[in-house]
Amino acid sequence: MRHRTTASHAPDAVIVGAGVVGAACAYYASRAGLAVTVVDRGPVAGGTTGAGEGNLLVSDKEAGPELDLALLSTRLWRELAEALPPEDAIEYELKGGLVVTSDETALTALRTFAKGQRDAGVEAYEIPAGEVHALEPHLAPGLAGAFHYPQDAQVQPARAAAALLRAARHMGAELRLGEEVTAVLTDTDGAVRGVRTPRGDLHTPFVVNAAGTWGGRVAALAGTHLPVMPRRGFVLVTEPLPPRLIRHKVYSADYIADVASGSADLQSSPVVEGTPAGPVLIGATRERVGFDRGLSTEALRRLAAQATALFPVLADVRALRAYHGFRPYLPDHLPAIGADPRVPGLYHACGHEGAGIGLAPATGLLLAAALSGERPALDLAPFRPDRFPAPDSGPGAPEPGPDAPGAPQ
CATH fold, domain 97-150+229-329, is: D-Amino Acid Oxidase; Chain A, domain 2 (3.30.9)
Report the b/e string of 191-216 with b at 16+ CB within 10 A.
Answer: ebbbbebeeeebebbbbbbbbbbbbb
pLDDT at 257: 66
Q: Which of 91, 74, 92, 79 is nearest to 149 (CA)?
A: 74
Is residue 42 packed enough to be buried (19+ CB in 10 Å), middle (13-18) or exposed (0-12)? middle
pLDDT at 260: 58
Q: What is the pLDDT of residues 143-196, one digit of tens each?
A: 999 999 999 999 999 999 999 999 999 999 999 999 999 999 999 999 999 999
Q: Which of 343, 346, 340 is nearest to 380 (CA)?
A: 340
Q: What is the distance between the alpha carbons of residues 381 and 124, in angstroms, rounded to a whole number?
A: 28
Q: What is the distance between the alpha carbons of residues 361 and 356, in angstroms, rounded to a whole number?
A: 9
Neighbouring-strand partners of residue 196 = 183, 201
Neighbouring-strand partners of residue 229 = 329
Q: What is the pLDDT of residues 100-151, one digit of tens each?
A: 999 999 999 999 999 999 999 999 999 999 999 999 999 999 999 999 999 9
Cis upstream peptide for 284 (omega within 30°) = yes
CATH 3.30.9.10-classified regions of the chain: 97-150+229-329
Q: In this structure, are residues 148 and 133 in contact, taking their beta carbons and an 8 Å threshold?
A: no
Q: Which of 370, 135, 356 is nearest to 230 (CA)?
A: 356
What is the distance between the terminal CA atoms of the chain, rounded to a whole angstrom?
37
pLDDT in tens, the chain (409 residues): 444 433 347 999 999 999 999 999 999 999 999 999 999 999 999 999 998 889 999 999 999 999 999 999 999 999 999 999 988 889 999 999 999 999 999 999 999 999 999 999 999 999 999 999 999 999 999 999 999 999 999 999 999 999 999 999 999 999 999 999 999 999 999 999 999 999 999 999 999 999 999 999 999 999 999 999 999 999 999 999 998 999 999 999 886 765 656 677 788 888 999 988 899 999 888 888 888 888 888 999 999 999 999 999 999 999 999 999 999 999 999 999 999 999 999 999 999 999 999 999 999 999 999 999 999 999 999 999 999 998 864 433 334 344 333 333 3
Residues constituting the chain = 409
| Alpha carbon 395 to chain centroid, angstroms | 30
Q: In this structure, are residues 200 and 361 in contact, taking their beta carbons and an 8 Å threshold?
A: no
Alpha-carbon distances of 359 from 145, 157, 246, rounded to whole Å: 28, 12, 25
Q: Which of 325, 356, 342 is nearest to 387 (CA)?
A: 342
CATH 3.50.50.60-classified regions of the chain: 1-93+152-227+331-409
Of 3.40.50.970, 1.25.40.10, 3.90.1150.10, 3.50.50.60, which CATH number belongs to 1-93+152-227+331-409?
A: 3.50.50.60
pLDDT at 265: 79
Q: Which of 21, 113, 109, 1 is nearest to 69 (CA)?
A: 21
Q: What is the pLDDT of residues 363-384, one digit of tens each?
A: 999 999 999 999 999 999 999 9
CA angle 272, 274, 280 (to 5 degrees): 70
pLDDT at 347: 98
Helix or strand holding residue 350 (H, E): strand 346-350
Alpha-carbon distances of 170 from 164, 173, 329, rounded to whole Å: 10, 7, 32
| Mean pLDDT taken over the chain | 91
Q: What is the distance between the alpha carbons of residues 152 and 87, in angstroms, rounded to a whole number?
A: 24
